[in-house]
Each structure stands twice: as structure tokens, then as C-alpha cells.
Chain A
Amino acid sequence: MLNYLWAFMILAGILWAVPGGNVAAVAQGVLGAAGEAVSLCVTMLGVISLWTGILKVGEKAGLIDWLAGKMTPVLRFLFPGIPEGHPANRFIAVNMIANILGLGWAATPAGLKAMEELAGLEEERREQSKNAVPPAAASREMCTFLIINISSLQLIPVNMIAYRTQYGSRSPAAIVGPAIAATAVSTAVAVLFCRLMERKDRSGR
């Protein structure tokens, strides 16, 4: 995907520059952009190292596991169809907590395990012919899990703060509150949508 996107930017841009007489500007722009990327990384080195360091402290102290344990009521509400004590619960909880903290690398492996467990759960349902979806189709829980995941759960957008610092923002962290509010809106819409679809889904079968 990115291969085409990047090729399009470069090729279409250069082609467009020729009739517009902007070739010289493009030449300058290319060299400028490359240098700028490096200076951006220097700023990010500071902010990101600080943050990954802090999060490592939390991770080693068992913060993810501790918080994941607190997620039970949320999971019962979002996924009433997953039996209590099913391993999917744990993986989903870890994935969500890691996303909330902005630990992308911890979120994805747990998320993939959760999908695997959800696939297993649906397989069991098929065997017991308890209104399950056909194979190769997403189960209700998978849809809910992914929609909520994609609605974004991150509390502190550290990368964005680093970028804003680099470009001379007067208060780089000013967007944290609004970003949490916007994330709350998108997640609320996601939860509402999943609820509605689940109801429709159940009555349709």
C-alpha cells in the first residue's frame, strides 16, 4: 500500500512540476525535506526516549497486568458473549490497556492472540450449533474488538507532542485534553454502533 502511495507522491509530483515550472523548487524541497527529517528525529530522540523509559518502569512494575485485571467490568459490558475466565478476556484487556498507554508494540501481539482466541470461541459455537457465524466470517466479538480498537484509545499522543515541539509550538502538550475528548467521542460512537449491530445481529438469526 505504502509503496504505491509513496511512488504516487514522488512520480506525480515531479511530473506535475515540469509544466508548472517548479522543478527547481522540487529539487530544493527534496534536499530540504531529507535534512528536516533528521532534525525532527533528534527532537524525537529526547521525547520518545523519555516516554518509553517511563512506560518501561510501569511495564516492569506490572502496571499492564494490574490494570488489565481492573478491566473485567468493561469487558463484561462490551463482550457479554465471552464466558468468564475465557483466555480471550485477558488478551483483550492487555491489548486495550497497552493501547490506552500508547504501547503499540505490546498491544499488537496481545491483540492477535485475542483474535485467535475469539476464532476458537466461534469454532466451539459452530460445533455446538449455537447461532455462530460461518467460517471465514468475523464473529460479533471480533467486530466489536476491532471497531473499538480502531476508534483509538490512546491517552497521551506522545509522538504528536514531539512533532509539535520540533515545529516551535508554544505549548506542545495543549492538545492532550482535546485529543482525549475526541478519542472519547470516537470510542463512544464505536461502542454505541457495536451495541446496535449486536442487537440487530441477534434478532436477525
Chain B
Amino acid sequence: MMKLLLYLSDCMLPFMIFYIVGFGLLMKRPVYDDFVEGAKEGARTVLGIMPTLVGLMTGVGVLRTSGLLEFLVGRMDGWLEKVGFPPQLLPAALVKLFSSSAATGLALDIFKEYGPDSRLGLTVSIMLSCTETVFYTMSIYFMSVKVKRTRYTLPGALLATGAGIAASIWLGNYIGL
């Protein structure tokens, strides 16, 4: 089962590239020209988010080098470990509800501290890949149609996010062995 999952991981990217380029060719598109156009957009996007990353990585850097992050995480050790949640990942999990880029900053910190292939590194990678910015998404979508009573959206979104986080921890433990 895990072997299959890891095999799928390796195949996914090449297969999707094959499929998309093949599809483009079937549709008689100038695929290379399209590719270059898209790659240009991507490069612009990355340069556009560079200032954001500088800001957030600086913020996280301050939080960590000052010892505050360690202190905050240390406060929550006991009961988090009881439910099997790695306390080091709590800041990233909570921040992700509001901001994807800030959560990324915290995840990079985990990579630096423990390595991306460690149990924590794998778990945080999966966790951030299977969750969305709950509050941010809800606010832009509902604000656009002037909805104030969101009814069962928030409980449902948080439940789904919680399920994703639980699955990430389980999977992270499993493949991190």
C-alpha cells in the first residue's frame, strides 16, 4: 500500500507532463511556444512573491532565533503529544488557516531544523499540501456575494482540515520510518 503510494509519487509528475503535452499536440497547439509563454508567467510570479518570502522568512527567523518559537511550542508539548500531534508542527498548522505564505515560512524552518525527509519534514509537507487557508478563502468568497451568515461552512471546513491534518500525521509517521 505504501509502496504503491510512493510509486504513484514518482509517476505522477512525468505522467501528467506526458499527458498534457500529448493533449496539446493532439489539439494541434504550438506546444513549445505555449510552454515558454507559461514559463515566463511562472518566472514573473516567483519574482513577484520574492519580497513576500523575504518578509516572512525574516519574521519566522526572528521568532526562532529569539527562542520564542521554542518557548511557545514547549508550552504545548504535554497534551499535544498525548493525542499524537507533533508539537513542532502546531504553529504551521494554525497559521495555515489564515495565510499560506506565512505557513510556508514556518514549514521551511522545519526543513532547516530537521530536514525535509525527516518524519516532521514529511508530515509538514503533506499537511500543507492537503489543507487550504480556511479563513482567507471563506472571507473572499463570501464577501464577494455579501453573505454574512456562513451557517455550517466553517465547521465543515475545519472538520475537513482536521481530517487532512490527521491523515498527514499518520502518513508522515508511516513513510518516515
Interface residue ranges, A against B (CB under 8 Å): 1-2, 5-6, 9-10, 12-14, 16-17, 20, 22, 25-26, 28-30, 32-34, 36-38, 40-41, 44-45, 48-63, 108, 111-112, 115-116, 118-119, 133-134, 136-138, 142-143, 146-147, 149-152, 154-157, 159-161, 163-164, 167-183, 185-190, 193-194, 197
Could you tell me the distance between the alpha carbons of A171 and B10 in the complex, rounded to whole angstroms?
Answer: 9
Inter-subunit contact A137/B164 (CB<8 Å): no
B130 close to A (CB within 8 Å): yes
Q: Quick check: A189 and B130 within 8 Å, CB to CB?
A: no
Contacting pair A182 B164 (CB below 8 A) = yes
Q: A6-B56, A185-B167 are in contact. Are A150 and B160 (CB under 8 A)?
A: yes
A142 to B13, CA, bound (A): 32
A150-B161 in contact (CB<8A): yes
Q: B100's closest neighbor in chain A, by CB?
A: A159
Q: In the bound complex, what is the Cα–Cα distance between A45 and B63 (angstroms)?
A: 27
With beta carbons under 8 angstroms apart, the residue of B65, B129, B134 that contacts A26 is B65
Task: List the A side residues contacting B27 at CB < 8 Å.
Answer: 61-62
A interface footprint on B45-68 (CB within 8 Å = 1, 0 otherwise): 111011001111111111111111
B85 within 8 A of A: no
Can you list 27 contacts pairing A with B, beta carbon distance less than 8 Å?
A10-B58, A17-B65, A25-B65, A26-B62, A33-B62, A45-B43, A48-B45, A49-B46, A56-B37, A57-B31, A60-B24, A61-B23, A133-B151, A137-B149, A142-B153, A150-B138, A151-B161, A167-B121, A173-B10, A174-B10, A174-B117, A175-B9, A177-B6, A182-B129, A190-B156, A193-B152, A194-B156
Give the residues in chain A near B59, CB-CB below 8 Å. 6, 9-10, 13
By the criterion CB–CB under 8 Å, are B61 and A54 in contact? no
In this complex, what residue of B is CB-closest to A164?
Answer: B116
B163 within 8 A of A: yes
B50 / chain A contacts, CB cutoff of 8 Å: 37-38, 41
How far is A112 from B10 in the complex, measured between Cα atoms in Å? 34
Interface size, chain B (Cβ < 8 Å): 106
Taking A53-B39, A167-B116, A175-B9 as contacts, is the C-beta distance between A116 and B163 under 8 angstroms? Answer: no
Q: Which residues of A contact B42 (CB under 8 A)?
A: 48-53
A177 touches B8 (CB 8 A): yes
* B89 close to A (CB within 8 Å): no
Q: Which of B17, B68, B130, B159 contacts A54 (CB 8 A)?
A: B17
* Bound CA span A161–B111, Å: 12
Contact call B67/A189, Cβ cutoff below 8 A: no
Q: Are A172 and B116 in contact (CB under 8 A)?
A: yes
Chain A, residue nearest B20 (CB): A58
- Binary per-residue interface labels of chain B (80-97) against chain A in the complex, 1 for a CB within 8 Å, 0 otherwise: 000000000000000100
- Complex CA gap A133/B26 in Å reads 47
Proximity bits, B114-153, A CB within 8 Å = 1, else 0: 0111000110011111111011111011101111111111
A13 touching B24 in the complex, CB below 8 Å, given contacts A143-B151, A163-B107: no
- Per a CB cutoff under 8 Å, which of B55, B99, B171 touches A182? B171
Name A151's contact: one of B34, B67, B157 (CB within 8 Å).
B157
Q: Which of A10, A28, A41, A178 contacts B53 (CB 8 A)?
A: A41
Tell me, rounded to whole Å, the shortest Cβ–Cβ distance linking A120 to chain B: 9
Q: Are A156 and B57 in contact (CB-based, < 8 A)?
A: no
Q: Give Cα A34–Cα B23 distance, bound, in whole angstroms.
A: 41
